[in-house]
């Protein structure tokens, strides 16, 4: 790869633009420190012409959210025959859509939280009484990332407000039964689980503020302080989820661990945050893998998948 021109794709048009810029810049710096020829590309509608003008040989996809993590850019790169990092078109699309991802998990016998899906056109007619389970519940848009639009609702007023908040976000509305537990997240690299980390947010859950706001008070415990048997089970569960969706490269799989030691899959992030403060690099560092080593390994996995 040292003789290739690398295009670092970052930014994009969605709520995760700023997060993606941080991911892309951190990765660019890491690769340049190893002698790679990297050009930062802030993705806009002119991306095809920019890729041609810059003579990009390999694309490092550091995009998050819609039009970047959901298979759109991956499809463009396949059509242009430019090898790229991470998951392919289908795996990216499935991972981004929480409803379809949960359908795949269920088909593979993997544990997920009970839920109901409400189409946007039916929101005005949907009420708490239509839920197949009692509050509290978690309301989330099915095709957004970084916990954008996610809220825990405990009463009818909060429920109505949450539905209004997600109306203009991407995808149908996914409403899940609230399960109290510990947030255990696993990095999976090239189909193998790297390690499990526990996230202890100062907020009610690991929301956008807890993830990205400086001084939010979130604590990260690596390795996750769980038993050996529980660690084995969650690593196996997350690796199976990664493979079930057909993911490539690195993913971060989020779970909830209940008091009885059961694990429930929440989602697979096919392009997790990759700043030095992000979870996957924290796990890698805990295993002795530097951020530069991790960036280089992901780059060396770039390929066409179609």
Asked about 146 being catalytic, the answer comes back as yes
Clarify whether 267 is annotated catalytic: yes
Active site residue 16: yes
Give phi and psi for 130, each to the nearest 5: -85, -5
Q: Which of 14, 92, 207, 269 is catalytic?
A: 269
Q: How many CA atoms lie within 13 A of 86 on its CB side?
A: 32
Catalytic residue among 144, 267, 270, 278: 267
Give the bridge partners for 269, in sequence order. 252
Bridge-based pairing state of the strands 137-141 and 173-177: antiparallel
Residue pair 140/174 in contact (Cβ under 8 Å)? The answer is yes
Which residue is listed with tokens 């537990």? 181
Q: Is the distance from CB of 79 to CB of 105 less than 8 angstroms? A: no
Catalytic residue among 252, 264, 278, 296: 252
Active site residue 212: yes
125 belongs to the catalytic site: no
| Catalytic residue status for 203 | no
* 254 tagged catalytic: yes
- State the catalytic residue, choosing from 151, 212, 248, 264: 212
Q: Which of 88, 145, 273, 278 is catalytic?
A: 273
Q: Residue 155 catalytic? A: no
Catalytic residue among 151, 254, 264, 270: 254
A 10 A CB-CB count for 48 gives 12
Crossing angle, helix 98-107 and helix 89-96, to 10 degrees? 100
Two tokens at 223? 């390795």
* Catalytic option among 16, 115, 172, 296: 16
Q: Which of 87, 92, 146, 270 does the annotation list as catalytic?
A: 146
Catalytic residues: 16, 146, 212, 252, 254, 267, 269, 273
């Amino acid at each position: 790869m040292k003789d290739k021109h690398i295009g670092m794709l970052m930014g994009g048009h969605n709520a995760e633009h700023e997060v993606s810029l941080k991911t892309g810049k951190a990765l660019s710096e890491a690769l340049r420190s190893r002698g790679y020829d990297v050009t930062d590309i802030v993705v806009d509608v002119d991306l095809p012409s920019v890729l041609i003008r810059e003579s990009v040989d390999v694309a490092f996809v550091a995009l998050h959210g819609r039009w970047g993590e959901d298979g759109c850019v991956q499809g463009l790169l396949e059509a242009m025959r430019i090898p790229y990092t991470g998951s392919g078109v289908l795996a990216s699309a499935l991972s981004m859509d929480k409803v379809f991802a949960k359908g795949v998990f269920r088909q593979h016998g993997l544990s997920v939280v009970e839920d109901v899906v409400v189409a946007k056109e039916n929101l005005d007619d949907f009420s708490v009484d239509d839920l197949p389970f009692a509050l509290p519940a978690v309301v989330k848009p099915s095709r957004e990332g970084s916990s954008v639009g996610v809220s825990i609702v405990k009463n009818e007023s909060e429920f109505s407000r949450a539905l209004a908040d997600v109306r203009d976000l991407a995808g149908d509305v996914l409403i899940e039964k609230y399960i109290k537990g510990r947030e255990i997240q696993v990095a999976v690299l090239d189909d193998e689980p790297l390690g499990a980390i526990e996230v202890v947010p100062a907020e009610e859950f690991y929301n956008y503020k807890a993830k990205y706001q400086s001084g939010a008070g979130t604590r990260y415990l690596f390795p996750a302080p769980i038993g050996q048997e529980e660690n084995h089970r969650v690593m196996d569960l997350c690796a199976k989820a990664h493979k079930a969706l057909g993911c490539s490269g690195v993913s971060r799989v989020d779970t909830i661990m209940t008091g009885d030691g059961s694990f429930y899959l929440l989602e697979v992030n096919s392009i997790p945050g990759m700043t030095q403060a992000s979870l996957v690099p924290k796990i890698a560092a805990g295993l002795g893998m530097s951020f530069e080593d991790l960036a280089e390994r992901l780059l060396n996995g770039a390929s066409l998948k179609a």
